[in-house]
């Protein structure tokens, strides 16, 4: 049996773990298992490793041969296959296609549902308010309620200014 | 001040109490964050890592919560120092391997710890004795909120906090607890339990060893998924599972005492016998036997002896802590001798375990433990 990573040496390290109720297996040679830090059990999860391998394959498929490279940091999918880590925040945009399936399989969802930095939070709520006003304005114009439309237009102008000051500040 | 003068001696830190600390040794909440516009530490060049450290470290040091704390760059620690920090659970093994361009900031109480340029630019954690996930989360959430005013985080509305490894994406949170589960191991129920916990999307790891029979019967349970769920939901889910695990362990203890008291007494008595009388003992054997003694204390078999004695020995008998007490570099064999000397000395005043059988129910003798 050959190692799942280098596909050259004979696999001597065999790992099994339950991931989402399914039994996953990985067979590695001694060199690759050391590279992956498997001799250091506290820092190691088979899930990370498996998902890393799967993702690299998906990324290879998504880019169909032509090697994708992050424009910000120069990171490639081959680098991801080696380390299971990305190069910079922009890699998430560069490799978005290949990562999508991976994120779906490893997480509860693919949309962030937790904490948002305060600056962006304000930004977000103002944007939402603006969208609401815009809709009411369209409705007022459609109903030919021009007095209401004028009030809404002034309000939108104010909110826009606030949003500008938030994003530039 | 060096790190050894700074660190709280184990005889004090082990006396800290928390809810359910009979079984839950500690709680931890860790957040992973990165600074916008900089490559992740594992990919960044040395100069970029240094630049990141220079930007992040002062911001962390200036936090009120870390006032009076300890701050140092990783290249100023010796290998032994780093190993001691690992044995104290203050830094990860991965961080211990770092040098130039990485840093560490710890608060005075050792309840907050920020690793700079580990796998992510920031790995910050709050630690609590016993089961106190909520309190740990509130503390680290506060630090995080204070830092976001000084550093611009890499964040996307869609994917949340962007991390080097996709497994931490979104909330970047890892909530975990260290559990002492000797009865579940003795009753051979632990594998079943681990599988059930895994099915819930939670990870179970050994404290010092991979595999189901963790050293010292200590298991770390943590969330695996970080994206698509709010921090408090992740925390509550784990909390519920932990409360169930506590109940299972307590049940296993009562059942064993009732059904196989001789088996339990035998294990604990032998553990005491070896720890108090050995002249050479490995770190691994020490941890497994101290675990049984800890169980004996919980079962009131060592009157007058408190749990912290064992918890302290758990730390002091580990390789780096042992090495630290002696100036010469010790071989593993020499450490085994000195470890045994320390244990005999520390257990000199601990009397033999008291084994009180429950009132007889019929006259069937306890069956000897099967060897399967």
Of residues B198, B207, B225, nearest to A107 (C-beta): B225
Q: What angle do CA B110, B114, B120 make, to 5 degrees?
A: 150
Cα atoms found within 13 Å of the Cα of residue B183, Cβ hemisphere only: 24
Q: Looking at the predicted structure, is the pLDDT value of residue B213 above 70? A: no
Question: Predicted confidence band at A11 (pLDDT cuts at 50, 70, 90)?
Answer: confident
Q: Which pLDDT does position A37 carry in this prediction?
A: 58
Q: Nearest CA of chain B to the CA of A21: how many Å?
A: 5
Distance of CA B167 to CAs A1, B22, B112, B170, Å? 28, 32, 23, 9
Closest CA to B111 of B93, B94, B130: B130
Beta bridge partners of A23: A18
pLDDT for B317-341, tens place per residue? 998 999 988 877 889 999 999 999 9
Q: Which pLDDT does position A63 carry in this prediction?
A: 52
Closest CA to B109 of B87, B86, B77, B136: B136
Over range A17-24, report the average pLDDT: 60
Q: Looking at the predicted structure, is the pLDDT value of residue B9 above 50? A: yes
Q: Where is average pLDDT lowest: A6-15, B94-103, B281-290?
A: A6-15
Is the C-alpha dihedral spanning B118, B123, B129, B131 positive or negative? Answer: negative
pTM above threshold 0.90:
no
Share of chain B above pLDDT 90, in %: 82
Q: Looking at the predicted structure, is the pLDDT value of residue B308 above 50? A: yes
Q: Looking at the predicted structure, is the pLDDT value of residue B362 above 70? A: no
Distance CA B272, CA B250 (A): 22
Share of chain A above pLDDT 90, in %: 20
Over range A50-78, report the average pLDDT: 70
Over range B145-165, report the average pLDDT: 94
pLDDT for B281-294, tens place per residue? 999 999 999 999 99
Residue of A nearest to B119 (CA): A85
Q: Nearest CA of chain A to the CA of B305: how many Å?
A: 31
Residue of B166, B173, B176 to mutate for A, most A C-beta atoms under 10 A: B166
* Both structure tokens of B160: 């949340």
For residue A45, which residues of chain B lie inside 8 Å, CB to CB?
167, 203, 205, 224
B154 vs A79, more confident = B154
pLDDT for B127-143, tens place per residue? 999 999 999 999 999 99
Question: Predicted confidence band at A44 (pLDDT cuts at 50, 70, 90)?
Answer: very low
DSSP A29: -
Residue of A nearest to B34 (CA): A89
Over range B48-74, report the average pLDDT: 95
Q: Do A85 and B43 touch (CB under 8 A)?
A: yes
pLDDT for A96-136, tens place per residue? 988 988 898 889 999 999 999 988 877 777 778 888 888 99
The number of C-beta contacts closer than 8 angstroms across A and B is 151
Distance of CA B114 to CAs A86, A142, B31, B59, B122, Å? 22, 57, 10, 11, 7
For residue A103, which residues of chain B lie inside 8 Å, CB to CB?
159, 166, 169, 227
Interface check for A20 against chain B (CB to CB < 8 A): the answer is yes
Closest CA to B134 of B177, B197, B180: B177
Which residues have CB under 8 Å from B360's CB, separation 6+? none
Of residues B119, B160, B206, nearest to A114 (C-beta): B160
Residue of A nearest to B147 (CA): A117
Distance of CA A100 to CAs A107, B96, B328, Å? 11, 33, 54
Question: What was the ipTM of the complex prediction?
Answer: 0.84
B20 φ/ψ angles, rounded to the nearest 5 degrees: 60, 25
DSSP B350: P
Beta bridge partners of B221: B177, B204
**Would residue B89 be called left, alpha or beta, if left means φ above 0 and alpha means ψ between -120 and 50 degrees?**
left
**Percentages helix, strand, coil for chain A, rounded to the nearest 5?**
55, 10, 30
Interface check for B165 against chain A (CB to CB < 8 A): the answer is yes
Question: Predicted confidence band at B344 (pLDDT cuts at 50, 70, 90)?
Answer: very high
Q: Which pLDDT does position B267 carry in this prediction?
A: 97
- E strand or H helix at B255, and its extent? helix B231-259
Over range B107-134, report the average pLDDT: 96
Q: Looking at the predicted structure, is the pLDDT value of residue B232 above 90? A: yes
For residue A112, which residues of chain B lie inside 8 Å, CB to CB?
156-161, 170-171, 227-228
Residue of B nearest to A39 (CA): B210
């Amino acid at each position: 049996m050959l190692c799942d990573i280098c596909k050259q040496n004979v696999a001597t390290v065999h790992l099994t773990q339950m991931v989402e109720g399914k039994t996953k297996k990985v067979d590695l040679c001694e060199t690759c298992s050391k590279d992956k830090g498997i001799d250091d059990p506290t820092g190691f999860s088979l899930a990370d490793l498996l998902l890393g391998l799967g993702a690299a394959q998906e990324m290879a498929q998504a880019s169909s041969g032509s090697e994708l490279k992050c424009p910000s940091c120069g990171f490639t999918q081959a680098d991801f296959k080696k380390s299971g880590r990305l190069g910079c925040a922009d890699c998430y945009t560069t490799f978005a296609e290949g990562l999508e399936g991976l994120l779906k399989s490893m997480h509860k969802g693919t949309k962030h549902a937790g904490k948002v930095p305060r600056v962006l939070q304000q930004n977000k709520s103002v944007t939402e308010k603006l969208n609401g006003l815009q809709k009411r304005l369209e409705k007022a114009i459609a109903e030919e309620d021009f007095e209401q439309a004028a009030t809404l237009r002034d309000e939108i102008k104010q909110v826009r200014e606030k949003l500008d000051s938030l994003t530039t500040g | 001040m060096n790190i050894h003068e700074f660190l709280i001696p184990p005889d004090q830190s082990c006396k800290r109490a928390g809810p359910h600390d009979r079984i839950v040794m500690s709680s931890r909440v860790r957040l992973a964050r990165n600074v916008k516009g900089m490559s992740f530490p594992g990919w960044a060049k040395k100069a970029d890592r240094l630049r990141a450290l220079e930007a992040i470290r002062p911001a962390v040091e200036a936090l009120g919560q870390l006032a009076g704390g300890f701050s140092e760059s990783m290249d100023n620690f010796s290998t032994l120092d780093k190993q001691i920090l690992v044995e104290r659970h203050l830094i990860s093994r991965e961080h211990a391997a770092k040098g130039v361009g990485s840093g560490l900031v710890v608060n005075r109480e050792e309840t907050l710890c920020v690793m700079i340029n580990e796998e992510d630019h920031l790995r910050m954690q709050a630690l609590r004795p016993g089961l106190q996930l909520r309190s740990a989360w509130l503390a680290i959430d506060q630090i995080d909120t204070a830092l976001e005013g000084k550093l611009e985080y890499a964040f996307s509305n869609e994917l949340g906090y962007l991390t080097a490894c996709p497994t931490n994406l979104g909330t970047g949170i890892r909530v975990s607890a260290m559990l002492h589960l000797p009865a579940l191991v003795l009753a051979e129920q632990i594998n079943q339990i681990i599988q059930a916990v895994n099915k819930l999307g939670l990870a179970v790891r050994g404290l010092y060893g991979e595999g189901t029979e963790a050293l010292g019967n200590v298991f770390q349970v943590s969330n695996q998924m970080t994206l698509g769920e709010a921090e408090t939901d992740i925390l509550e889910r784990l909390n519920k599972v932990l409360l169930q695990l506590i109940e299972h362990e307590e049940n296993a203890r009562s059942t064993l005492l009732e059904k196989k008291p001789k088996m339990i007494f035998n294990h604990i008595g032998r553990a005491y016998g070896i720890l108090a009388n050995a002249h050479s003992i490995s770190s691994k054997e020490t941890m497994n036997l101290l675990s049984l003694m800890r169980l004996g204390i919980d079962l009131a078999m060592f009157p007058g002896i408190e749990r912290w004695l064992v918890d302290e020995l758990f730390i002091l008998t580990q390789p780096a802590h042992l090495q630290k007490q002696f100036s010469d570099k010790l071989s593993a064999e020499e450490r085994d001798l000195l470890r045994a000397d320390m244990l005999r000395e520390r257990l000199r005043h601990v009397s033999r375990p008291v084994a009180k059988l429950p009132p007889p129910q019929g006259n069937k003798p306890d069956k000897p433990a099967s060897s399967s």
